[in-house]
Structures are given as C-alpha cells and as structure tokens.
C-alpha cells in the first residue's frame, strides 16, 4: 500500500528550485534532500535546477541525476546571467501552485522545506525563512547585518531577514511581480514587491551552515560594487520614482 503524503492540506503541489553556479559538489545533495522531503509532503511536485553558466561540470552532474530523480528538470544558461537572472528563469519555469527556492550551495538544508509547508495557514502568501544562526565567517556576518538593516530602512521592509534565501511562495502572487534585477538585489526587489502587493507573510526560523564547497561569488569587491550600484538604482526606481 502506497503511503499518503503527511503534509499540509493547504499545500497540494510544489515547484522546488535551486539556482546553480559551480555547485557540482553540493547540488546532488540538495536535490536528493528536497526530493526526500517532498515525497512525504505533497502528491504533486517538480524539482528545477537552473544551471547558470557553470564553468565546472555541474551540468553533467545534473543530467546524470535525472536518471535517479525523474521529477528533476534542468534549465541551462549557456552564459552566466547572474543570481537574479537564474531566479527569474526558475520562477518562469515553475508550474505548481507553490514555489520553493533556496541556493544550490548547501548552506541551507533543503529538507527544512517541511517547516515552511507546515507554517502555511489560510490566507498566507509567503513563508519567509530567517536564519537562526549564520554559518559564515565574522566579516560576512557583519556585512550581512549591515546590508539587511540598510535595505530594510531604504525600502521600508518589515521581514526579519531579507537576506535569507529560503522561501515558499504562492505562484499566483509571484506572477504579479515584475522582477528585473540580475544580481542578488533581486531579493530586495521581490520583498518590496510582495509588501506593495500586500502579501500575507509567515516567518520561520531555518538553519544556516558554513559553505561546505566552493566560494561565494558575492563577497568579492567587484560583485559588492556591482550590487551596491544596482541597489541604488533599484531604490531610485521603486521608492523615489514611484513616490512621485
């Protein structure tokens, strides 16, 4: 006899997706972990990985993984489009009622999607994670807190942890947003869009670990400078110009 899903009746179908850039050593675990969780939670799900122009053999790993995980679909970018570009592709590819995403570098436990699904209540549009502890070196923790408080003030955001990329969202709410950012500031654009759309949030604590493989692409001077410029442009477009 086939076991029935034991998840939340308010969440019947899920698209789970991961952006992937040079994450060959982590992405298989992420896919397997979310798959193991979803088979117990919902009747209908898909898993999407957006390979954002990886220079390692992430794409080959993903193609091999499809033999073990038939629910896996791979979206391939021939050239790197940036974190925001990968998220845009993943959101566009999602077809189920709820969309979950987190990063493909294994700093989050994809199996903790169970916490987000359990938190969905009638009328909830977004379940937003917040890091119960940050598994990063001290300098990254400091930069992260400064970034969070800066964007919270500039964009008048109310979420506890804007920088936590561990989210479950109603797809119909997500489709109302016109996301344009190609860098990590897309998360600020997304939260600003949700708040302007008067989305109902629930916030849930999730684990965050030291990065087990590779190196973050964000914490480099060119990337930080590029993100700072895009953040100012985003603030001008979403706050200043709309305020007029």
What pLDDT, in 10s, does the model give residues 80-122?
Answer: 999 999 999 999 999 999 999 999 999 999 999 999 999 999 9
CATH number at residue 76: 3.90.550.10
Give the tens place of pLDDT for each residue, 33-47.
999 999 999 999 999
Q: Is 126 helix (H, G, I), strand (E, B) or coil?
A: strand
- pTM greater than 0.85: yes
Name the average pLDDT for the chain: 90
* Residue 7 within a domain: no
Residue 2 covered by a domain: no
Residue 134 has pLDDT above 80, yes or no: no
User: Three-class SS of residue 204?
Assistant: strand
pLDDT value at 189 more than 70 = yes
| Residues of the domain holding 235 | 13-243
Residue 5 forms part of a structural domain: no
The token pair at 145 is 């807190």
Q: Choose among 176, 154, 56: nearest CA to 105.
A: 56
Q: What is the pLDDT of residues 17-68, one digit of tens each?
A: 999 999 999 999 999 999 999 999 999 999 999 999 999 999 999 999 999 9
β-bridge mates for residue 16, sequence order: 47, 100
In a domain, 54, yes or no: yes
Helix (H) or strand (E) holding 140: helix 138-155
Q: Which of 136, 239, 232, 230 is nearest to 186 (CA)?
A: 230
Query: From CA 51, how far away is CA 180, in angstroms rounded?
Result: 19
The domain tally of the chain equals 1
- How far, rounded to the nearest angstrom, does the alpha carbon of residue 124 sit from its chain's CA centroid? 18
């Amino acid at each position: 006899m086939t076991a029935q899903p034991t998840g939340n009746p308010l969440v019947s179908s899920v698209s789970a997706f991961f952006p992937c850039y040079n994450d060959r050593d982590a992405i298989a675990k992420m896919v397997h972990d979310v798959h193991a969780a979803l088979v117990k939670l919902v009747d209908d799900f898909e898993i999407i990985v957006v390979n954002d122009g990886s220079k390692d053999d992430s794409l080959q790993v993903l193609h091999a993984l499809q033999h073990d995980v038939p629910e896996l679909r791979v979206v391939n970018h021939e050239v790197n489009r940036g974190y925001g570009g990968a998220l845009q592709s993943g959101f566009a590819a999602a077809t189920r009622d709820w969309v979950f995403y987190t990063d493909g570098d294994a700093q989050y436990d994809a199996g903790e999607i169970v916490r987000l699904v359990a938190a969905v209540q009638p009328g909830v549009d977004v379940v937003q994670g917040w890091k119960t502890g940050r598994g990063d070196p001290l300098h990254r923790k400091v930069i992260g807190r400064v970034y969070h408080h800066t964007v919270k003030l500039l964009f008048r955001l109310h979420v506890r942890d804007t920088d936590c990329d561990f989210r479950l969202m109603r797809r119909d709410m997500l489709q109302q947003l016109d996301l344009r950012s190609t860098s990590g500031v897309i998360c600020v654009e997304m939260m600003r869009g949700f708040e302007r759309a008067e989305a109902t949030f629930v916030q849930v604590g999730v684990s965050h670990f030291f990065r087990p493989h590779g190196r973050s692409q964000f914490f480099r001077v060119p990337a930080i400078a590029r993100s700072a410029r895009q953040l100012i442009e985003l603030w001008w477009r979403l706050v200043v110009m709309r305020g007029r």
